[in-house]
Structure 1
Amino acid sequence: MTDPIAVGVDGSGRSLRALVWAAHEATLRRCPLRIIHVLPPAHSYATTEEGRAWEASNWDQRVMAEATAIVQEAHPDLEVASTLPSGTPAAVLLAEAEHARTVVLGAKGMGGFGSLLLGSVALQVVGHAACPVVIVNHVTTGHGRIVVGTDGSAHSRAALAYAFEEASLRGSQVQAVHAWSHPGPHAYVSAAQDAMGKEHLQALEAWLAPLREEHPDVEVVEQVPDESPVIALARASDRADLLVVGSRGLGGFHGLALGSVSHHLLQFSQCPLAVIRPRA
């Protein structure tokens, strides 16, 4: 069976944007869409099994029915399944990620999902999911550009592969960004700094070479800005339909689930953000 795109919904406007993005992605990839609405282990006013059943049969099921109807109206040929599991959102979503192609979440939610942008749920899912995770804050279209950050690490190589795959599906350009910082005063431009820039460009070209060969239909733009990766990628995201990064790069401590660049971009990306971990 084809792995589905899994999307978390909670009735908020932000989760609706995530649902729209996920349905479009499932249509592009010709795979099923799985809609998930997590019921907390215990509601504040539902203290019995009968009370939980009544509550789930009302507001929670209306959330699910509305989400399913929106998708079926926009994509009548898309295979859609829905589920109302009970538990903690992070645990449920991480379990779903074991069998999903991608997990999609709104940047912030309400009810069972809490604040997905800055809270522990997003950090746990983005940092530990076995599949790509896409956090949707702003839905942007029409730019025809996928931005991807890369530094040569295994995680960024996985991000590059994902970005090229998305660009090929969407008929978009890939803007590959390898940001670096000169160790000297930023205002001082020297021959040594120019040489370092050329070295970084050569490294980027080497990382891109196999993917250019695999996806000859994808136009590629290379950028090696001398600035912070967070600043460079956040700026580029303002003119992109999707920003793609590895969950961590070459910096920091080995074994960290989520690197500082990915963490900051959860807040600053101006388009949907895909965070990629290499599959085991």
Structure 2
Amino acid sequence: MTDPIVVGVDGSGRSLRALLWAAQEAALHHHPLRIIHVLPFEPGPVRDSRIVSEATAIAEQAHPELEVTSAEVEGTPAATFLAESERAHTVALGAKGRGGFGTVMLGSVALQVVGHAASPVVVVNHVPLDQGRVTVGVDGSAHSQAALEYGFKEASLRGAQLQALYAWSPPGGAAPVSAAQDTADAEHRRALEDCLAPLRQGYPDVEVMEELAHESPVLALARASDRSDLLVVGSRGRGGFRGLALGSVGHHLLQYAMCPIAVIRPRTRPAPS
């Protein structure tokens, strides 16, 4: 069975944005869509099947050809979506919600799912504006290389430009000396080109824009997200990306990105088609 795109819904407007993004992604990849509504562990929880039925109707109306399944699951949100990620192509969550995964952007649920999911996780806080660009944060780590692979595939499917962004700033935030900055720029650009070279060959249809930014990765990527349909980062990295899944860098990016943000871990199982 083809791995599904899994999306969490709770009836909020924010989960609707995640639903619409996930349905579009499922149609783009020719994968089924699986809609999940998480119910808390409570005696006799009130079931509102309208949430699932309405979400299913919205997805099917937007993409009549899409295979859609749904489920109401009793449990904790983090555990539910981590379990779903074991057999998912992607897990999509809204930025904030109520009930099943309220404050998913800013609380422990998002950090647990983003940090430990077996599949890519996409947090949808804004609807893309068809900018024709996928932006990937690069730092040379294995996690950012996995993010680049994901970004190239997404750019190819969308017919979009890929922006590979390598951000760095001097230790302590001191203003760089010109000669030292030139040397560091050359080193970082070579590292960026080395990361891109094999993927350029694998995706010759993708137009690539390389960018070095002299600021923190958080600021550079947050700015770039305003001109992107998708922001892609590794779940951990070195330098500015260290602790992305659990620390302040990821927290801020998840909170302030102006487009959906995909957090990618190196593959531990065969890649879905």
User: TM-score, with normalisation over the residues of structure 1?
Assistant: 0.92
Deviations 1:147-206 (A, max 9, x none): 100101111000000000000000000000010112487445412211211111111011
CA displacement at 1:262 relative to structure 2: 2.3
| Residue equivalent to 2:154 | 166
CA displacement at 1:114 relative to structure 2: 1.4
Higher alpha-carbon deviation: 216-225 or 190-199: 190-199
Task: Tell me the amino acid that sits aligned with residue 225 of structure 1.
Answer: A
Tell me, yes or no, if the aligned pair for 1:248 and 1:260 is still in contact at 8 Å: no
| Residue equivalent to 1:127 | 115
| Correspondence 1:277 to 2:265 | yes
| Residue equivalent to 1:182 | 170
| Correspondence 1:218 to 2:206 | yes
Tell me, yes or no, if the aligned pair for 1:174 and 1:218 is still in contact at 8 Å: yes
Task: Tell me the amino acid that sits aligned with residue 166 of structure 1.
Answer: E
Tell me, yes or no, if the aligned pair for 1:247 and 1:259 is still in contact at 8 Å: no
> Structure 2 matches for 1:183-202, cutoff 5 A?
183=171, 186-202=174-190
CA displacement at 1:225 relative to structure 2: 1.0
Alpha-carbon separation, structure 2, partners of 1:118 and 1:185: 27
CA 1:184–1:263 in 2, change beyond 3 Å: closer, same or farther?
A: closer
The match for 1:76 among 64, 70, 75 is 64
Tell me, yes or no, if the aligned pair for 1:249 and 1:259 is still in contact at 8 Å: no
> Structure 2 matches for 1:101-180, cutoff 5 A?
101-180=89-168
| Residue equivalent to 1:23 | 23
Alpha-carbon separation, structure 1, partners of 2:244 and 2:218: 18
Q: CA RMSD in A?
A: 1.8
Alpha-carbon separation, structure 1, partners of 2:216 and 2:117: 26
Alpha-carbon separation, structure 2, partners of 1:239 and 1:253: 21
3-state SS of paired residue (1:223)? strand
Structure 1: which 5+ runs fail to align? none
| Residue equivalent to 2:78 | 90
| Residue equivalent to 2:39 | 39
Task: Tell me the amino acid that sits aligned with residue 153 of structure 1.
Answer: S
| Correspondence 1:235 to 2:223 | yes
Tell me, yes or no, if the aligned pair for 2:35 and 2:68 is still in contact at 8 Å: yes
CA displacement at 1:256 relative to structure 2: 8.1
Alpha-carbon separation, structure 1, partners of 2:189 and 2:112: 34
